Amino acid sequence: MSLRVVFAGTPEFAVPCLAACRASGAEVVAVYTQPDRPAGRGRRLAPSPVKQAALEAGLPVEQPESLKSAEVQARLAAYAPDLMVVVAYGLILPRKVLAIPRLGCWNVHASLLPRWRGAAPIQRAILAGDAETGVDLMRMEAGLDTGPVLLEKRTPIRPDDTGGTLHDRLAALGAEALAEGLARTQAGEVLAAVPQPAEGVTYAHKLDKAEARLDFARPAIELERQVRAFDPWPVAEGEIAGEPLRIWAAQALDRPHAAAPGSVLAAGREGIELACGKGVLRVTVVQRAGGRRISAADYLNARPELRGAPR
């Protein structure tokens, strides 16, 4: 049984899932993605990564501002989809849209539900110090990420994982889960839909650039997670000896001290060690205003006075 699939997604995270749909033997009859948005210094309209992938594959592309109008819903229904696959689309699907595909709508979500429902599950899992995360293939309902789970794939969160590395791993894992779900469904199997437990619900609120500011009165381990979670966006920011910097890499050290938070305790080839509310944060990669990423050792060449820490 070959399925007629409408795919809906927008960012890079969704591109492997679009490829999985195409490779599954299903017929991708249309790709829905958000309208082109201004990007870059020139603020020119740019297509989403999913739109680029769809056009390269010769697939029809739809870019409605919303799915609420009867006209937009009628156009979707005209594609006569058996299934709609939604991956980080960014638009809410009204009940009438959920009811259009014969087999309903599936969503690939980057967490182990019901933990981290919402917009930023990858970064929130790192910030919280979770040991494990994964992807869920879920049947969509009207609520936010509340539907029953059809398939789940798990992965440990490594001590050196950043928002970027975990994003890429989960994008690939999501494509694996979707490929398996499509293969089993096209073979005639009805996937078991397991309701989410009522306990353990948490929400992964959208990232705010204001969250990137490091508060050295907090424990070093929390700041290390913040640095990792916010790479590549919005990038952690902190002040070192009076200069605001973007901080790309740092390591928490379980080391006692009596210095004021933010004080430079040591500075050398291994990095710049800053006093925190608990422990020490060793900063290893920084970026000055208008500059590029450099090692802390290279930064110290421009600020040799810091080598005589503490300050």
Nearest alpha-carbon partner for 93 in 107, 82, 80: 107
Nearest alpha-carbon partner for 34 in 82, 108, 71, 89: 89
Q: Strand, coil or helix: what is 243? A: strand
Buried b (16+ CB within 10 A) or exposed e, 59-73: beebebeebeeeebb
| Residue written as token pair 């594959």 | 57
Nearest alpha-carbon partner for 31 in 46, 17, 13, 45: 17
Q: Any known ligand binding at 112? A: yes
Q: CA 28 to CA 18: how far, in whole Å?
A: 9
Buried b (16+ CB within 10 A) or exposed e, 289-310: eeeeebbbeebbeebeebeebe
Give yes or no for a contact between 49 and 57, defined as CB atoms under 8 angstroms apart: no
Using CB atoms within 10 A of its CB, is residue 260 exposed (0-12), middle (13-18) or buried (19+)? exposed
Q: Any known ligand binding at 113? A: yes
Torsion of CA 269, 270, 272, 277, to 10 degrees: -160
CA distances from 21 to 115, 192, 283, 287 (A): 26, 20, 42, 40
The runs of H, that is alpha helices, within 187-295 are: 220-229
Q: CA 53 to CA 69: how far, in whole Å?
A: 26
Binding residues for (6S)-5,6,7,8-tetrahydrofolate: 111-114
Binding residues: 111-114
